[in-house]
């Protein structure tokens, strides 16, 4: 899962980025709403937006993004538990909110729920043909038999399972696996897809020449 965090408290943001990585979420972080206006148009599974930002406020950013027809789920952070702020955020187009201080387990669970609903899944457990993935257990099954996968194989499969009919380019996959400031190697994608194919079945990931990869039910 790829998440954008817009939060001006550097210490909090850095902690969230590190902790959400343990929940298989690759996070990009921006401290200013103005910068997020164009960046949020990229492919993210969810946006986390602090309402109290210097300059353009979180509320204005949400109104702007919804005006630009950005459908990505938005979770807002509110510093106070003022109900008016939450209502204004939800009315502006946010889907959920958390009051600071934030527990990362709760944040991760809410982000997963938002991304899941946005992708049209009713349950946490994802299935596609003989494949199943349980995000709570972090376990992959083929024909109900548990299969052991590495962290990056798991994150790759999670991405495919959320959107089984979507074609993912190598660039999309790199964005899902690595933050933009991390070192990237385009060969990683082919190697990783190859490794995952050996574990879940060769035909379950299709290569579409020049376009990318897609999960096959
Ligand atoms: Ca703030």
Q: 31 C-alpha to center of ligand 1: Å? A: 9
Mean pLDDT of 67-86: 90
Average pLDDT over residues 144-164: 94
Give residue 32's pLDDT band: very low, low, confident or very high (50, 70, 90). Answer: very high
> Quick one: average pLDDT of 36-63?
95
State the distance from the centre of ligand 1 to the C-alpha of 78, rounded, in angstroms: 8
Q: What pLDDT digit, counting tens, does each position of 98-125 carry? A: 999 999 999 999 999 999 999 888 888 9
The predicted pLDDT at position 46 comes to 97
CA of 18 from ligand 1 middle (Å) equals: 19
Of the pLDDT bands very low, low, confident and very high (cuts 50, 70, 90), residue 95 is: very high
Q: What is residue 56's three-state secondary structure?
A: coil
- Residue 164: what pLDDT? 87
Which pLDDT band, with edges at 50, 70 and 90, does 145 fall under? very high
6 Cα: distance to centroid of ligand 1 (angstroms)? 9
Give me ligand 1 centre to Cα 82, in Å.
15
The rounded Å distance from CA 129 to ligand 1 centre is 44
Is residue 80 scored above 80 in pLDDT? no
Ligand 1 center to residue 131 CA distance, Å? 42
Q: In the prediction, which pLDDT does 28 show?
A: 97
pLDDT of residue 186: 77
pLDDT value for 19: 97
Q: What is the mean pLDDT of residues 22-40?
A: 95
How much is the mean pLDDT over the chain? 93
Measure 57 CA to ligand 1 centroid, in angstroms. Answer: 9
pLDDT of residue 21: 94
Spatial CB neighbours of 83, under 8 Å, sequence gap ≥ 6: none
The pLDDT value given to residue 82: 79
Q: Does residue 81 carry a pLDDT above 80?
A: no
pLDDT digits (tens, 9 = 90+) for 169-208: 999 999 999 888 888 887 889 999 999 999 999 999 999 9
Tell me what pLDDT residue 114 has. Answer: 95
If you write DSSP's letter for every residue of the chain in order, what string do you get? -EEEEE-S-HHHHHHHHHHHHTTT-EEEEES-HHHHHHHTTS--SEEEEES--SSS-HHHHHHHHHHTT--S-EEEEESS--HHHHHHHHHTT--EEEESSPPHHHHHHHHHHHHHHHTT-SSSSEEETTEEEETTTTEEEETTEEE---HHHHHHHHHHHHSTT--B-HHHHHHHHS-TTS---THHHHHHHHHHHHHH-GGGEEEETTTEEEE--
**What is the Å distance from ligand 1's center to 11 Cα?**
11
**Residue 150: predicted pLDDT:** 94
Pairing of strands 74-78, 46-50: parallel
């Amino acid at each position: 899962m790829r998440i954008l965090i817009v939060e001006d408290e550097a210490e909090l943001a850095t902690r969230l980025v590190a902790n959400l990585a343990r929940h298989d979420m690759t996070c990009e972080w921006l401290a200013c709403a103005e910068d997020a206006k164009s960046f949020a148009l990229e492919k993210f599974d969810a946006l986390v937006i602090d309402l109290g930002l210097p300059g353009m406020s979180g509320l204005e950013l949400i109104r702007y993004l919804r005006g630009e027809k950005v459908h990505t789920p938005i979770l807002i952070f509110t510093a106070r538990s003022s109900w008016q702020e939450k209502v204004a955020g939800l009315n502006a187009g946010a889907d959920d909110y958390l009051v600071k201080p934030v527990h990362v387990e709760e944040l991760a669970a809410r982000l997963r729920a938002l991304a899941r609903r946005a992708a049209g899944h009713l349950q946490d457990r994802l299935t596609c043909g003989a494949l199943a993935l349980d995000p709570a257990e972090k376990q992959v099954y083929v024909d109900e038999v548990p299969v052991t996968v590495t962290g990056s194989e798991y994150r790759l499969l999670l991405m495919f399972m959320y959107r089984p009919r979507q074609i993912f380019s190598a660039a999309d996959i790199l964005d899902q696996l690595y933050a933009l400031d991390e070192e990237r190697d385009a060969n990683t994608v082919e190697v990783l897809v190859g490794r995952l194919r050996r574990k879940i079945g060769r035909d379950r990931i299709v290569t579409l020449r020049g376009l990318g990869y897609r999960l096959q039910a």
